[in-house]
Amino acid sequence: MERQILHVDVNNAFLSWTAVEMLKEGSKIDIRQIPAIIGGDESKRSGIVLAKSPKAKEFGIKTAETIYQAKMKCPNIQIYPSNFTIYKKYSNQLYNLLLEYTDKIERFSIDECFLDMTHYLMNDTLLNKGKEINKRVKEELGFTVNVGVAHNKLLAKMASDFTKPDRVHTLFEDEIPTKMWTLPISELFMIGKKTVPKLYNMQIKTIGDLAKTPQNLLIKKFGKHGLMMWEYANGIDKSEVEYKPQKPKGIGNSITLSQNISNIEKLEEILLALTEQVTYRLRKEKMLANVVNVQLRTHDFKDTSHQKKLASSTSSTKEIYAKAKELLNQMYIRGSQIRLIGLRVDNLVDEEQMQISLFTDNKNEKQEKLDKTIDKLKEKYGYNLITRAGKMELDDKIKFKK
């Protein structure tokens, strides 16, 4: 199966996170809109610029130069101290939002993550998920990210480095010649400053030049690093997203529809598919949900969402779908053209922490066995090949009555 990888990179992280924190504390100035930098102790001539605003960039100020040099270029530059407590706070907020999409997340640095979305798209596209994440981070967390969309980590990271800020870029295999090979060799990931002049001496000036250079020539000159450079130049990267499993605070999924839908019964069927995906993840995480949230987006991009508390903590597809369907019917305005529908469960608790009743509900036990049976079938035959039919009137069979 072709891998589905996203790379999420915070734009100008330290300065952006400082700006968001200051605005929350009542500041009337958004330091992203003025000449400003994040730096060390400005009383020391050796203090370094850690981050700069777009306005500061216009004065020629560069990251890693001294604050003294920055002040020479812009005497009125506003200087703010670094604060890793704030950075960690917003980095964790981003990570928790991304956990709603997949539990396979590699925190590559404090401000960037790789996401393996291979088994979490639920018939949606990787590009749509990238766009959704980009939008949600901006609206819910207050800062912007670039998202790279590709089939491996290397290409996803390269894509996220294209035009900034606040962009979503793809870099699929058929796009390598036009989007990547034209770039200077210094833009290729893992090419160090000391290597660039050596490549220039070999008349290798672009990534495309490197891609077309014989492997044996590069191996002879650079050893194993030469083979890696050649593979990267050709978009080859088999490395896995290295993640440490962590329990999500919420699990959700949404789908942008290929065409607007105004039929409530069709929306209910799509909501069922979303519920299956979300509850499958719940059970895999061995967690139970207490709150269900349904989101709708109309053709003119108006978003509405409603949520309700469940009667008890559960991972049951039947119970969560019943509540989600109830919310959908409350929210939906007849005749509305819907372009996106989403489902999210919140207030999650560990299965093990919940006290099991002495009086087991046979129906619930039967439903739980059914859910687990379907989960096993999905794992064996593929997620999209096994699904419940119809609108789920829930008669305790794998395929339900319409």
**Which of 39, 66, 84 is the endpoint of a domain?**
84
Domain match, 255 and 222 both: no
pLDDT digit string (tens) for 301-335?
888 999 999 999 999 999 999 999 999 999 999 99
Domain match, 313 and 196 both: no
Residue 110 belongs to some domain of the structure: no
Q: Between the CA atoms of 187, 190, 191 and 192, what dihedral angle is there, to the nearest 10 degrees?
A: 120
| Residue 68 belongs to domain with CATH number | 3.40.1170.60
Domain match, 269 and 226 both: no
At residue 398 the predicted structure's pLDDT band, cuts being 50, 70 and 90, is very low
Q: How many domains does the chain have?
A: 3
Domain match, 280 and 194 both: no
Domain match, 285 and 226 both: no
Residue 246: predicted pLDDT? 72
Dihedral sign computed on CA atoms, order 310, 312, 313, 319: negative
At residue 42 the predicted structure's pLDDT band, cuts being 50, 70 and 90, is low
Among 20-24, 58-62, 387-391, which stretch is predicted with the lowest mean pLDDT? 387-391
| Residue 198 belongs to domain with CATH number | 1.10.150.20
Residue 232: predicted pLDDT? 97
Residue 103 belongs to some domain of the structure: no
Residue 126 belongs to some domain of the structure: no
At residue 88 the predicted structure's pLDDT band, cuts being 50, 70 and 90, is very high
Domain match, 220 and 311 both: no
Residue 400: predicted pLDDT? 31
396, pLDDT greater than 70: no
Residue 117 belongs to some domain of the structure: no
Domain match, 197 and 229 both: yes
CA distance 109 to 114: 10
Domain match, 228 and 255 both: no
CA distances from 97 to 246, 342, 366 (A): 13, 15, 33
Highest-confidence segment of 30-44, 293-307, 360-374: 293-307
Catalytic residue among 100, 106, 112, 276: 112
Q: Is 393 a catalytic residue?
A: no
**Token reading at 12:** 């100008």
Give ∠ CA 111-140-53 in degrees, rounded to 5. 50
201: Cβ–Cβ under 8 A, 6 or more apart, which residues? none
pLDDT digit string (tens) for 129-171?
999 999 999 999 999 999 999 999 999 999 999 999 999 999 9
Domain match, 377 and 264 both: yes
Residue 394: predicted pLDDT? 38
The answer to whether residues 57 and 40 touch, using CB atoms and an 8 Å cutoff, is no
Query: The pTM is what?
Result: 0.74
Backbone angles phi, psi at 48, to 5 degrees: -110, 145
pLDDT digit string (tens) for 208-258?
999 999 999 999 999 999 999 999 999 999 999 998 877 778 888 888 888
CA distances from 41 to 29, 35, 60, 290 (A): 22, 18, 21, 48
Residue 401: predicted pLDDT? 29
Percentage of the chain surpassing pLDDT 90?
A: 69
29, pLDDT greater than 90: yes
Domain housing 314: 251-385
Helices and strands (DSSP H and E) totals, the chain: 13, 13
Task: Count Cα atoms within 13 angstroms, Cβ side, for 48.
Answer: 3
Residue 39 belongs to some domain of the structure: yes
Domain match, 286 and 196 both: no
Residue 73 belongs to some domain of the structure: yes
Domain match, 374 and 266 both: yes
Residue 121 belongs to some domain of the structure: no
Residue 96 belongs to some domain of the structure: no
38, pLDDT greater than 80: yes
Q: Tell which residue, 346, 322, 334, has the closest CA to residue 296.
A: 334
Residue 231: predicted pLDDT? 97
**Which of 68, 84, 100 is the endpoint of a domain?**
84
Domain match, 77 and 48 both: yes
| Residue 323 belongs to domain with CATH number | 3.30.1490.100
Residue 374: predicted pLDDT? 65
Residue 172: predicted pLDDT? 98
Please count the other Cβ atoms lying within 10 Å of the Cβ belonging to residue 237.
Answer: 21
At residue 378 the predicted structure's pLDDT band, cuts being 50, 70 and 90, is low
